Every structure is written in C-alpha cells, then in structure tokens.
Structure 1
Amino acid sequence: MSDSLRLEVDLDKIKYNAARIVELCHSRGIAVLGVTKGFTAIPQIVLAILAGGVDGLADARMENILELRNEGCLESITLLRIPRLSNVDNVVKYCNVSVNSEVAVIQALGQAAEKMGVDHQIILMVDVGDLREGIMIENVLDTVRKVEGVEGIRLVGLGTNMGCFGGVLPEYSNLNILVNLGKMIENRLGIPIEVLSGGGTSSLLLVEKGEMPAGINQLRIGEGILLGTDTTNQRIIDWLKNDAFVLKAEVIEVKRKPSVPIGNIGRDAFGNIPEFADVGIRNKAIVALGKQDAYIEGIIPVDKGITILGASSDHTIIDITDTTRKIQVGDELAFHVTYSGLLSVSQSRYVKKVFRKD
C-alpha cells in the first residue's frame, strides 16, 4: 500500500493531552478512563494514552477489547456499550466493568460470571435527559433492588451519557441527579456507590469552571485526549494540543473548471441531488481520497483558502482558487480531522497510519 494516503499520528501530543486532563481531573478527585473507540484501539495510541496516566481504558466495541487483550493489555477495561445478551460470556471474560441498563442482561452476566468463578462489576446507566441508553430516573431504585442480589454481579456505581445522541449539555443540575440517586441508594438500600461516572469530554468544561457536582468521580474521555476539542460544547480546548492527527492525500488533478456542472442534474452516486452556486471558473484540485476512505464532512483543510466542494467514493474535489500556495499534481494536501473524521479514517484499511514522536 502506498503511503501517499496516510494518517500521521503524533503520540507525544496525545500523551500530553492525556496527562493534562488527568492532572486537572485528579485535582478535583475525578478518575479518567481513556476511551479508545475513536481510533479502533490502535495499540500505539493506546500506549500513549496510558503513558499520560489515565486510570483505566474504556471502549464500546468488544472487537477492540479482544485485540487489546491479545496484545497483552492488562489494564482495567470498561465496556461502554450496554452488552448484547448474546455476548455476555466475552464481556465477563475480557472486561472488568460493563455499563448496563437491562435487568435480563445483568442476570445473564451474573450467570456467566458464576460459571467462571469471578465477580463482574457493573455500572447502571441512568438517563438524565439525553435519551440514549439508561434507566429512567424514577425507575432507578426499583432496578437496583432487582439486581442487588444477582450472584456474580457487583454493582459499583451509576453513570450517565451526555451529548452523544440528544445533544444535551452536561450541567450541574442534570449531573447532580446522579449524585442524589447515589446517596438515595446508599441511604435506603445500604448499598455503597463507589463510582459516579459523569459523562465524557463534554463534561470537562464543568471541571474547568469548578462547577462539577461534588461526588462525580469518573469521566470517560476520548475526544479531548485525542483531538483537544469538545464537539458538544462547540469549542477547541485551548490548553490542549489540537493537531495530534493529520490526514494527508496526494493531488491527482489540477484544472480550471466551471463551478456548476454542465447538463441536466440527476442524483449523484450516493443518491443525493447536488446543489451548486455559480461563482464562475475556479481552480480545482482532486485528491486521491474519497468517501470510502473518510467521512468527508469530518476533515478540514489545513491550508487557508482551500475549500472542499464534495467527494465521490474515490475522489475529493477541492477549490484552490483562493489559496496563495501553488498546488501541482503530486503535491500533498493536509487535513485536520474531527472526531467523526477520526472514527472513519482509523478503520479504513486504505489509509496508512504513521506514528511519530516530537
């Protein structure tokens, strides 16, 4: 495979981001799980995150977790996607902790744990408003009563997800619901709640501002460590490195062309009806990168004055009219990636991963 289409990964910047986030969170009594799903748990990146001092790892994909274990990873790993009933044996065997919301699955996890002679730790997910996974607030106590006696299971805490589906922002008010539920369980049922997991990167802003409710003692951080960004809060985190990942692609055509296609317009290769603004003849480049390689809406040109016009499976068309750089066939263009862009590029076998240290 040619190296002309590649994702360059600066491991030192990832380690730096992890260390800064850990430093901040530890100063507030909050543990940090390094989330590895955003880059398909590539071992070199995992090691950089661990070197930054995270308290454990977390991933949503059992395939990633299996690869980590096969690579000899002995760190505590939390399964972030509520388990499939059909996969409870693997969850117990390879994960120290799993997040859960279904009593039937917890019971099955308990049965698997008993067969293996181990205790499996669970965190009950509570839906405080984002409407992804989780028990509704009014049903938490009843659910705890149902699972507290399940053999092979140890309830260690409560967790919640913020921002990932409904876009709901973490706030003192909604995260404090988790704190109050934890106190209620301890007071009424006598069950100690060791972990209150208050979301991911979007919750970091509350920590920075000193507004995180006392009692929240775990965050699950992926995007902040990897990219130094916070998509939910629409911000670049200015005290972190934002360029640890750079995607590079080769220019395969440079031509002056009209800005509007010529002829009757039907649907493109993906079934969409494209729309174009007539801004005259433009200088355009094509790079050897397409939708089969990356989520195009998740990549951003590094050079100023360059605009992505669109892409097909294998070609990305770029307007280079307004850049001061003289771009020729054979040149490389560099792109920053968003979290969605990183997700797609990381799992593409067409994109070579190149690791470096400063």
Structure 2
Amino acid sequence: MQYPRVTVDRTKLKHNLDYLSNKLKAKGIQVAAVTKVFSAYPELVALYADTKNVAFLADSRLENFANYPTDIKQEKLLLRIPMLSQVQKLVETVDISLNSQLETIQAINQTAQTQNKYHKIILMIDLGDLREGIFEQAEIDQTVEAILKLPHIELIGIGVNLTCYGAIIPNYAILQQLVEHKQRIEATFNIQLDILSGGNSSTLYLLDEAIPPEINQLRIGEAFVLGVETAFGKPIPQMHQDVFTLEAEIIEYRDKPSLPIGQVGQDAFGQKPTFVDKGTMRRGILALGKQDVDPSNIKPRDKRLEIIGASSDHLILDFTQAKEDYQLGDTVQFDLTYGSLLNVFTSKYVAKVFI
C-alpha cells in the first residue's frame, strides 16, 4: 500500500449527504454542495451529483470544475469572487457565480454576449464578517440598478458569507438583515430574487432554533465531510465524523532525548522552536510533513500518542505511552479538520483511497 494516504468511506459520506440534504429540503432550503475541500475528486463529485436533494454543485476554484462529470444535472456555482483575468473561462465553465464588484460583472456580461450566453449571479452583501460583499446600502442599490441594465446577466439572488474570515456567527438578526435587503431591492426595482443564500455550515445550528423562513439556500461543505456545524464546531449527532482517515508510516522508531542538544537557531521554516525536557522518550518519525499537512490540524486516533514536531517531510511523535504496541513499518491513523483535509487532498504526495 502507498503511504501517506487519506481514505474516504463513501458509505458514511453518502449517509451524511442524504441526511443533511433531506433535513434542509424539509426546511425549504436548497443545498449548494461544496466540493473544494477534496479538490473535486471525480469519485466524490459523482457521489454528490447522485444525491437527490443537492440542487447545486459549488467550488471556489474554476480549475476543479474540470473534474466534474459532463452529465451532471445540477447547476455549477463558483463560490470565490471571479478574477477579471478568468472571466472568459468563468462563462465557459459555470452557470452561476457569487459577485461583489460591478466592474467584474460588467466584464462577465461582455464575455457572455460574445459567447451568446446568459450568466447568473448572486450578489454578495457584507453583514459584518468583512470578507466579500458590498457593505453600504447605497452601493448595493447602485450596483443592482447597474446590473439590471446588463442584457446577458441574470441577477437571481443575494447572499452573505459569515464565519470564514471574521468568525462572525450567524444569528436570526443578522440573517434578517439579508431578508430586509431582499425585500427592499424587490420593492425598489420591481423584480423578484429567487435565491436568498444564507451562508455555509455555520448557519446549520439555527435550523433547530430560529432561521428566517426566507433563507432558501445554504452552501454546505464542512458539515457533509466532517459531520459538524461550524459556528461552534459541534458534531451533528446523526452524522458521521470519521468519513476521512489520514494514515502515515513509521520510518524511524527509537529512544532519544526529548531536548535537542546544542544552541537552538531557526528551524526549516524560519521559526525558533522551544522544547520541554521530558527525559528520554520513544520517538517515532512518520513519512508525512508540513508540505502535506499542517501538523497542528491533525490528531492521532490513538490518544496515547502526541505530535511533538514536524519538518517539511517528517512528522515526529512521542510513542512513550504506547511504545510496545508499535514498530518500524507500522502506520498511525489521524483525524482531520477541514483545513487539514484541504491540505492532504491538495498534496500530490498523499494517496487518495476510496472505499
């Protein structure tokens, strides 16, 4: 077998997809299922595309859409605000994009016209997280007015992003502001906005509390793959949290001091590390490094093991509490966070295994 590797349990992932998409449909909410965390691997995109209540397939990278099956029935949605330099590829590749810059929308319109196409957009509103979106109400109205004059752009809705940058947790009051923007825009311009996109997996905790009924789309990534809501990081009891397993092989296994000997300078990443003297310990080196994953975002499933450091290609663990249970050539399994899952699927050095 090839190591390091990340193993995907497709049965558990399909359960997560079915359970949550069904729950959201019952609330009148359409799902935009996000494929970026696993780099839109075709084996997993196909699983998402075959899920009955997934209405849209979404990704942040235009390049990832090349991995999509050609016969998917869902509309394709670009999540990251488009680059001006990618407008032509954008119009050729996806049906819908999130936008906040009028200049970019105008460029999309021109390109769509040359391609004899119509491109749908969701206009993003910033409600305090301070990532993408228009912040001032006057600019929102000015932008909508200008968009409605563009013959090859279809404004299908407005949306908000929360939690990703400013870590602002969505609540009823914040999402009600989005509802009020929608109502004002529709009344002012005598139009109908079909989509009110109320954020991502961090909005899920509101389903069992209070969410404005007008919210009819969520962009779901982390909840499907890790089985958690992301406002507070709590597991969703009916979902699997162990869909993905990272596994790496022990390439050195011996007793050594816990404190390096000599003058401490910078490590391979320009940092000056600090160490705690724990005496002699059983140290194991795994064939996995920072080029593959951030070691602070993975946890050994064997709770007796502790990650004590890493370089580009080596991960060092303290095996002292479990030294009789491992030997050279054995493997160690890790649980992943959303960030580390993104890392290992981006790394070409980590094998991907689908079971």
TMscore range, shorter length: over 0.9
Mapping for residues 52-91 of structure 1, pairs under 5 Å: 52-53=51-52, 54-68=54-68, 72-91=71-90
Residues in 2 aligned to 1:28 and 1:46: alpha-carbon distance in whole angstroms: 24
Indicate conservation of the 8 Å contact 1:12/1:48, yes or no.
no
Cα deviation for residue 151 of structure 1 reads 1.4
Q: Is 2:325 aligned against 1:326?
A: yes
| Residue aligning to 2:134 | 135
Cα deviation for residue 227 of structure 1 reads 1.1
Q: Is 2:167 aligned against 1:167?
A: yes
Indicate conservation of the 8 Å contact 1:162/1:170, yes or no.
yes
Q: Is 2:168 aligned against 1:182?
A: no
Q: Is 2:7 aligned against 1:8?
A: yes
Cα deviation for residue 324 of structure 1 reads 7.5
Q: Is 2:201 aligned against 1:201?
A: yes
- May I ask how many residue pairs the two structures share in their alignment? 353
Per the alignment, in what secondary structure is the counterpart of residue 191 of structure 1? coil
Give the TM-score taking structure 1 as reference length.
Answer: 0.95
Residues in 2 aligned to 1:231 and 1:278: alpha-carbon distance in whole angstroms: 36
Per the alignment, in what secondary structure is the counterpart of residue 163 of structure 1? coil
| Residue aligning to 2:278 | 279
Q: Residues 296 and 230 from structure 1, CA distance in 2 versus in 1: closer, same or farther, beyond 3 angstroms?
A: farther
Per the alignment, in what secondary structure is the counterpart of residue 55 of structure 1? strand
Per-residue Cα deviation, 1:124-177 (whole angstroms, up to 9, x for no partner): 000001000000142212211121111100000001111111111011111111
Structure 1 gap segments, 5+ residues each: none
Indicate conservation of the 8 Å contact 2:108/2:119, yes or no.
yes
Counterpart AA for 2:88: D
Indicate conservation of the 8 Å contact 1:16/1:52, yes or no.
no
Q: Is 2:41 aligned against 1:38?
A: no
Structure 2 gap segments, 5+ residues each: none
Indicate conservation of the 8 Å contact 1:257/1:283, yes or no.
yes
Counterpart AA for 2:148: E
Indicate conservation of the 8 Å contact 1:134/1:160, yes or no.
yes
Counterpart AA for 1:113: A
Give the TM-score taking structure 2 as reference length.
Answer: 0.96
| Residue aligning to 1:157 | 157
Cα deviation for residue 118 of structure 1 reads 1.7
Cα deviation for residue 199 of structure 1 reads 0.7
Mapping for residues 216-227 of structure 1, pairs under 5 Å: 216-227=215-226
Q: Calculate percent identity across the aligned residue pairs.
A: 42
Per-residue Cα deviation, 1:212-263 (whole angstroms, up to 9, x for no partner): 1110000000111011123442222222101111011111111122221111
Q: Residues 230 and 266 from structure 1, CA distance in 2 versus in 1: closer, same or farther, beyond 3 angstroms?
A: farther
Counterpart AA for 1:18: L
Residues in 1 aligned to 2:349 and 2:200: alpha-carbon distance in whole angstroms: 30
Residues in 2 aligned to 1:280 and 1:143: alpha-carbon distance in whole angstroms: 64
Per-residue Cα deviation, 1:296-325 (whole angstroms, up to 9, x for no partner): 222111111111111001110001122386
Residues in 2 aligned to 1:173 and 1:75: alpha-carbon distance in whole angstroms: 31
Q: Is 2:291 aligned against 1:292?
A: yes
Counterpart AA for 1:259: S
| Residue aligning to 2:228 | 229
| Residue aligning to 1:261 | 260
Residues in 2 aligned to 1:30 and 1:280: alpha-carbon distance in whole angstroms: 56
Q: Is 2:237 aligned against 1:243?
A: no
Per-residue Cα deviation, 1:19-73 (whole angstroms, up to 9, x for no partner): 111111111100001101111000111112223331110001010013326x554
Residues in 2 aligned to 1:331 and 1:125: alpha-carbon distance in whole angstroms: 49
